[in-house]
Amino acid sequence: MSSTVRVTPTACALSTTIKHIASNRLYLRTQHHLLTLLPPNSNTSNRLGKRGRLTVAMSSSTDPLEICVKASVTTPNKLGPFTQRVLLTLEEKHLPYDMKLVDFRNKPEWFLNVSPEGKVPVIKLDEKWIADSDVITQALEEKYPDPPLATPPEKATVGSKIFSTFIGFLKSKDSSDGSEQALLNELSSFNDYIKDNGPLINGKEVSAADLSLGPKLYHLEIALGHYKKWSVPDSLPYVKSYMKTIFSLDSFVKTRALPEDVIEGWRPKVMGVSLVQEEEVADDDDGSKEVVGSDGR
């Protein structure tokens, strides 16, 4: 079995298909050449020429699931922001997937055929294309219950207000409007929760709530660091420890967007441009319900 990356230029857009299948060797195929990358050892990772790291998940014998995600706007053949939650779920469930990177600056016709509203992520399950990360992750949990990732209902909303207060602070032009304190209040509550119940939301086991909150905190760290020169204060050590734990998961490292893509993804919001009008950020798992008022996260 092999893992492949296909780069297929079209007249209207560039889409990339990355196939994740259990493998010890990674091949890059283009129209002109075949580059073979040796498997990683315990100390190193696969490298794609000078373009940086490219890692591929080990998978089960299940046929790969087709999923469309946004492509990077800064680096060829890399993930864009705002679709990490579903990819994390696939990784944590050890499911193989065929990932199609979609250029949102010029969406190809094949993508609009499967996602008429032009939103991501969309995944093909049982011969049907499904949108909205909430729906997708629930469907994956039901169809592939092992390992279980469901968060107990009483813990499912822990940290759920952090993201909206992050957005409020990020957008704020007035340092005295209370938006920073609102974020600090939510982070403080989360800090207390993790202190008493951690290291993760459901104790020691990764659950769906972590896979939802983790990408949001990643965006918070990068976007506020860049646009506000702000970081989580040392007075919240359990928040910082939680972030370090989540960000270091193999699944997270494999599916995270480049920092520069996170920065570019949030630029329209910081500049006061509607993300719906901008169309550079689509339906996403990292909070687009709260960002653009659309149907999905």
**Rounded Cα–Cα distance for residues 21 and 230 (Å):** 40
Which pLDDT does position 273 carry in this prediction?
61
274-277 long-range contacts (CB < 8 A, ≥24 apart) are none
Residue 241 lies in a domain: yes
**Rounded Cα–Cα distance for residues 242 and 261 (Å):** 23
* H or E segment and range at residue 4: strand 3-9
pTM: 0.76
Mean pLDDT by 10 residues, the chain (297 residues): 38 40 34 32 36 38 88 92 96 97 94 95 96 97 97 97 97 95 99 98 98 98 98 99 98 97 93 51 43 33
Helices first, then strands: H and E counts in the chain: 11, 8
Q: What distances in angstroms separate CA 226 from CA 62, 130, 290, one per listed residue?
A: 41, 34, 21
Choosing from 121, 143, 165, the residue where a domain stops is 143
Which pLDDT does position 269 carry in this prediction?
87
Same domain, 158 and 98: no
- What is the CATH classification number for the domain harbouring 189? 1.20.1050.10
Q: Kindly compute the dihedral angle of the four CA atoms of residues 259, 214, 91, 84, in this order, to the nearest 10 degrees.
A: -50
- Share in percent of the chain as helix, strand, coil (round to 5): 40, 15, 45
Residue 179 lies in a domain: yes
Same domain, 83 and 137: yes
**Rounded Cα–Cα distance for residues 83 and 247 (Å):** 15
Which pLDDT does position 63 carry in this prediction?
87
Same domain, 9 and 83: yes
**Rounded Cα–Cα distance for residues 193 and 182 (Å):** 17
Which pLDDT does position 33 carry in this prediction?
31
- What is the CATH classification number for the domain harbouring 90? 3.40.30.10
Domain that holds residue 253: 153-292
Helix pair angle (208-227, 237-247), 10° resolution: 110
